[in-house]
Amino acid sequence: MSFRSIVLDMKGELGSISRGFDVKFGYGMRSRSHRVVQDSSVPVDVFKQSCWANMPPELLRDVLMRIEASETTWPPRKNVVVCAGVCRNWREIMKEIVKTPEISCKLTFPISLKQPGPRNSLLQCYIKRSRSNQTYYLYLGLNQASNDDGKFLLAARKCRRPTCTDYIISLNGNDVSKGSSTYIGKLRSNFLGTKFTVYDAQPPNAGTKDTKSSSTRLINMKQVSPRVPAGNYPVAHISYELNVLGSRGPRRMQCVMDAIPTSSIEPGGVAPTQTEFLHSNLDTFPSLLFFRSKSTRSESFRSGPLSEQKDGKLVLRNKSPRWHEQLQCWCLNFNGRVTVASVKNFQLVASPENGVAGQEHENVILQFGKVGKDVFTMDYQYPISAFQAFAICLSSFDTKIACE
């Protein structure tokens, strides 16, 4: 049998597993489902009993590398997720093969949503708003159209409280609550809607202080209650300044990224990168299992605590729009990604107070804008993650009493 035939034969068996994977668990491949995996028992027993289970490691690695290289887009890329859920040996190999979004420019596993985006290019996503249930859905765009069935990534639900508003963020579009096993963080606003804090359910680096948690936990998360979120770790602060023109003028916003150093936007700079979900309850997800092993359980992050780093926190500011006399509106160049004028539209760049100059100061790190009724594009890149970008964009939806 030729090597090409081996690869095609294996992909054929993986395809049958993937179809069962979709039918049984509804893996959220299409925008209508808003679902993720709810059980770890993937129907791969027949695959384990096949000839592929005992392949020589060198040959297996070569085959898996070819599968990963060929399945570059969703939904075919679900085969890569299936490969990582077959057994420990396959997980270890896929762990080495699948690169972070910073390098690969791809979102493969849920942990990718907590990792910095690609360098030098914007990862194109879009957000759909459901007014009926106050829920926002984030999708990975599969083409240039924002009305396609994109790959579901995250969901957030708006929860009004007497003195603030919370946006609960989850991996599961059908279970968006803080008590959910798929809860990964939240955005909280003040009463006026002018200041926001982004909270991560787990520390972005080993030295972050937990500001509020229902029980005592170790940073390495040796013991975690199966149904209780790990904690609230502030990773970003967003503030909107007073606008003298009210709703007619552009908003002014600033984001202080507590967990990202200023040096990350300099050539060769590094941002903290989460490599696994520390919640024990999330380990039941086949798509997450490959990130956890005995050898890496205590090495959850690639960077040390931010408190030990000498440089300051990254500060982002919105890019100032210009007034267009003919259109009679404020304009920004979104390169065709935004088509409807809205006070919510913005582009974030590095603030001059970071001490950076030249191209690094002009690069758009996050842009958000309206393209239709309840549909918005969200494009982001290194050093922020999809989770951080989504939370920042959610702040634009909130009512700002003092600013407007």
262 burial via Cβ count (<10 Å: 0-12, 13-18, 19+): buried
Q: Are residues 72 and 145 in the same domain?
A: no
Residues 64 and 144 in one domain: no
pLDDT greater than 50 at residue 217: no
Structural domain including 26 reads 3-98
**67 and 160: one domain?**
no
Last residue of a domain, one of 57, 83, 98: 98
HSE toward the beta carbon, residue 75, CA cutoff 13 A: 15
Does residue 45 sit within a domain?
A: yes
| CATH number, domain containing residue 268 | 3.20.90.10
- My answer on whether 90 and 130 are in the same domain is no
Q: Does the predicted model carry a pTM greater than 0.95?
A: no
Question: Is residue 168 pLDDT above 90, yes or no?
Answer: yes
Percent of the chain scored above 90 by pLDDT?
44
Say yes or no: 188 and 332 in one domain: yes
* Residue 341 binned pLDDT confidence (cut-offs 50, 70, 90): confident
Do the beta carbons of residue 383 and residue 265 sit within 8 Å?
yes
Domain count within the chain = 2
User: Which residue among 57, 82, 98 closes a domain?
Assistant: 98
pLDDT surpassing 90 at residue 47:
no
**Does one domain contain both 258 and 139?**
yes
More confident residue, 13 or 33: 13
Which class for 219: exposed (0-12), middle (13-18), buried (19 or more C-beta within 10 A)? buried
User: Cα–Cα distance between 87 and 64 in angstroms, integer?
Assistant: 13
Task: State the pLDDT confidence band at 229, using cuts at 50, 70 and 90.
Answer: very low
- Provide the H-helix boundaries in 232-385: 286-289, 359-362
Binned at pLDDT 50, 70 and 90, residue 11 comes out as low
Cα 88–chain centre separation? 25
Q: Convert the pLDDT of each residue in 178-197 to its tens digit.
A: 888 899 999 999 988 899 99
Q: Which of 93, 99, 78 is nearest to 27 (CA)?
A: 78
Q: 290 and 199: one domain?
A: yes
Average of per-residue pLDDT across 202-218:
51
202 in a domain, yes or no?
yes
274 and 345 belong to one structural domain: yes
- pLDDT at 160 > cutoff 80: yes
In a domain, 118, yes or no: no
Give pLDDT tens digits for 105-150: 999 999 999 999 999 899 999 999 999 999 999 999 987 665 567 8
Q: Are residues 91 and 130 in the same domain?
A: no
End residue of a domain, out of 98, 115, 142: 98
| Inside any domain, residue 72 | yes
Mean pLDDT, residues 247-274 taken together: 87
Q: Are residues 134 and 39 in the same domain?
A: no
Same domain, 356 and 229: yes
**Is residue 33 in some structural domain?**
yes
User: Do 273 and 359 fall into the same domain?
Assistant: yes
